[in-house]
Chains A and B, each alone.
Chain A
Amino acid sequence: MDFSSINLPLAVLLPLMGAGLTVWAAHFHRVASAWLAGLVTLLALLALLPSLLAVFAGETLIQSWAWLPAMGLDLAFRLDGLGALFALMILVIGLLVILYARYYLSSKDSMGRFFAYLLLFMGSMLGVVLSENLLQLMVFWEMTSLSSFLLISYWTHRSDARQGARMALAVTGGGGLALLAGILLLGQMAGSYNLSDVLLAGDQIRAHSWYLPALVLIALGVFTKSAQFPFHFWLPNAMAAPTPVSAYLHSATMVKAGIFLLARFFPVLSGTPEWSWLIGSVGMLTLLIGAYTALFQHDLKGLLAYSTISHLGLITLLFGLGTELAAVAALFHIINHATFKASLFMVAGIIDHETGSRDMRRINGLLKYMPHTAVLAMIASAAMAGVPLLNGFLSKEMFFDQAVVASNTSMWAWVIPALATLAGVFSVAYSLRFIHDVFFNGEPINLPKTPHEPPRFMRIPVDVLVVLCLAVGMLPMFTVAPLLAVAVQGTLQAPPPEYSLAVWHGLNVPLLMSVIALLGGVAVYVVRQPLFTLYEERVKGQQLRHVYDWMLENLQAFARFVTQWFDRGSLQDVLFWVLGFTLLAGLAGFLSSTAPLLGGRELLPLDGVSLAVGSTLILASLLSVVLHRERLVALVVLGAVGLVVSLAFVKFSAPDLALTQLSVEIVTVVLLMLALYFLPQYTPRISSVWRKWRDGLLAGALGLGAALLALAVMTRDTATPLADYFLANSVPGGGGKNVVNVILVDFRGFDTLGEIAVLALAGLGIFALLQQIKLYVPTEDSGGRAWSAEANPFILQMFSRILFPLMLMVAVYVFLRGHNLPGGGFIAGLIAALAIVLQNLANGIAWTAQRLRFDMHQWLAGGLLVAAGTGLVAMALGYPFLTSAFTHVHWPLVGDFELASAMFFDTGVFLVVVGATVMILVELGKLSRVGASIPKEGA
């Protein structure tokens, strides 16, 4: 396995693992976490480098491992031109953001946490753009939503941060659900969840009857993630995040994930009228609304947020136009927007950092306080406005050109270039506001700090990005051209169309539109005051976030309403509902079946003894209900029921079950008896007559249903006898004649491992519950007689001590023969536990603890280790987990003896059963001795 075959997953895993490391590094020095985050990002970039070179040479790399092939889920990574473009943006801008954030965060902010979240996001985002398998992509997609939630709510003490984070998660998470459904449909239509197959199945998918639902669902995922109308409102509210987060997630990368999907599925889904209408019109609406609203924001970051929405709308619109050249323009604008918008957010962060405010009505005339930053901001804003010689101009020209081309498609399509120009006008106006309001326009008003230039290294990321804006804007052929070319090829999955990146295309319609936009923008900005007043009066209150809030409030009210009905904090009510619905579900099953109730299987004859024993069971059960107020009596009757159940197992050829039931019955009664000491001896009458009737009817109906169901099954023959397999393979495959035990320790060993883990956890849980428990210790019994403080009865003491070695010997015997005769780890464990418990009961816990110095925690841990270790040994030898092996050895005296690896597993079972049982009973028993120091009943 050489490096070039695993480097794609490695690049994704590096940031994800680095997230944990940064938290650890922050314990030593807070800045160490920043260095580590930067280092991890560089390493991820280095890991991708050889593959990037291959992609630039025209290759598409796929690295995949089968995961759940039956479900179409592979662990599969892919790097093509589109993935390369996004991976580069994520890592390079990520690196700049890390450098910037190291200076941005104040000494009160936890750096370790911040960089851990940031790396978590970076890894998830890389996972999205590098996934070959669509289901895997979906997992990373949800991870970006989650890490974005953590980043927005980074300042957890601020309520706007918490609300913004919740809103972002609700909107993008909801969209994620729609996307999942869409991708499932897509995978079903293409017959595979691997992108390579899906990308080739375009014609088949577009002709499929599921095309439209799949398109709508995927579009919902895209629109929510990329803040398209009408889901755009979460993005401005996400601006409560620290500014490096806004620069990284909410302008350069995460909001582009939706756009990425549009590009990814462009060859598959585009080219239909549905695509153009849905994607194109939403993009156009978003473009206009975003550009218009941005002008009226007084918050610096608010302006940039709406501007981002508008530019995302522009890119969406371009993809919606559906032509190859429009896709080129869209990809080009993705690159340009990432550079100028990230730098603008960083500038906004610097201004916030150095002046203490983001309100443009107060921040004025900063040019003389921070000239360097001002120049950077002006260049980046000009790029955003689409001023010539900057990168934004080039892609905007391409956009205008495509708008003009689209205007030929139908009679009404002339509105496309018209609206595009209108959006251009507003975009120039808000860019101008960003420059004029902040850096000119008089003196600052009442700022908390005196503004000055930021630390040098905080500005370097902005320097780098602005230089990129200029370089791409003036020399596109020598800078961005190769990257754009592979990205186009990766998106279209075809050779790129002819396009020109020249700065000057001659006098043409797009240039005219640019000029109109520039002049119009200046004009709008000049007359802004009346427009502001109009906006404040008419538009401002009508925001979509009010709709969202309204929906959320009603949803919560509805949830409260439903919960009040079903859950009034009462176990009795909850149980009644659960059991009632069980009855209804069973009833529905019975009523929908047309088969006769009874089958034709030959019934077994009934003999007198069985009838008597069976009647005992029924009478004892009923008696335990009738007598349930007298708890001790009811408990004795309950014990009788359990004994009869074990007799039933004897009768019906299940000796293993009979042995287990018998021993469990004894420990259960001992346990309940111990517990009853601390509980009231009698149950008070609480339930009303009405409730008793209600419960009684429900109980009767459920009992009738269970009886009929059991009868229906038992009177039929088994259709597919699974038993045959186990009976046939028990001796040759598992090396044991006791099939029940072979199933437990071999065929279904994994289940058993889970079950003993549950038992161990129950034991530990009880141990934890009993620590520092407050108990009501009775001083007298129910008859008013004082509890005897006498030592344990002498005869029992003597007998129990003689019995102890005998019981242990029986346990060992039952254990050893378990593979071939009734017995095994469970039963032997219960017998051994009974032996130990008997000593405790007869001789007292202190006496026993002195002589049997075992820590039951170690038995539990040891048992689980032995059982799991047996499985791991099999793995180490190259077999699946818990594969067993066996051999026959000849022991002198004992004779021919079979040694199976399953026996080690059974030893683990034995240890856990003994450990859990003894721990539960002894811990409970101990309590009665310390009871004297605890409040008495009735006190």
Chain B
Amino acid sequence: MARKISQAFFLSNTYLLRERSNNSLIRQKRLKCGFAGILSCALLFLLGSPVQAQELHKIEFAAEKIDGGYYAYRMRQHLVSDLNGGNAIDVTARYPDGPTIPGPTIVIKEGDEVELTLYHQFDPATPAHEHVSVHVHGVHYDIESDGTLEYINHFKDESAIPVMSYKYRWIAAPGTAGTWPYHDHNMLTHNGAEDRGLYGAVIVNPASNMTVMSSGNSRQTISLDTVAKDYVLYLFDDAFAGTEIDRATGQQSYGGANPALTAQKNTNVRFHLIALGTNFHRFELPGYNWPEPGTDQLVSAKTLGPIEKYVFTVHATQNSIYLDTALNNLLLGMRGAFLVSE
């Protein structure tokens, strides 16, 4: 994560943190779902017939140590093919060359499968680094792909070790649509070292290719094809980290700590929040509200605990600042720009 230190301008008069948010009250709008609305929502969920072909993603990750006491995953290769491995396309160019924090965002859709091979690239002489793994949330996998230690799974150490890689197989079966974290589960402690940089996300887009968005004060069902950007924002104990993905090209870019997010005015953009670490957070994006998943409400703040995920889509209309208003997180400068350009 960014060797760049967040510039706090500790005593500077230009420091703007005093605008301690008055937006912290949740503005909830209850929207009566009309008959048509109920029907379309229900249909969205029940009619899961894939509109696109199922694909196999063959992915190679390296786990590496980087300066500053961090560890990170690096995308070595990402091939997309049909489920039998035919018609492979190499999409590795979507990702930066080096290791990144957060790790590469794996974008797939309901029905797809993933084969992820992890390579251990730490100093083999350091016993604490004996194991490293990828444990994923949300999607299907059998016990061999849990990414845990034998200490936990009573089966085997599902780790890459200095002399051997490890292959994980995931199935984004129907019902697993959503954005899910992946992270190490085996390094340094019996539950891993996700808090040291070894984390990322899998976006499983729904087979329906639809989502619900807020636009002003209303909920609107839209096709994901109309969503221009995905922002994957991790709420760490003292900073945001993030990846911005151009959905047209799949290109991923990393902005370091508290990155500025960019959007074109009047486009649809999707936020994927994942909390990590030990602290709790309260996310706000002043000037915007969004549909609360599983309900018919619009909300403008969300409390999140470690490893919870939260996805929402908004219509970009104005500049804002995303921020964490919990306890000292705001004082620490947990905030970044949401820049909406004409």
A binds B: no
Q: Which residues of A are interface residues toward B (Cβ below 8 A)?
A: none
- Chain B interface residues toward A at CB < 8 A: none
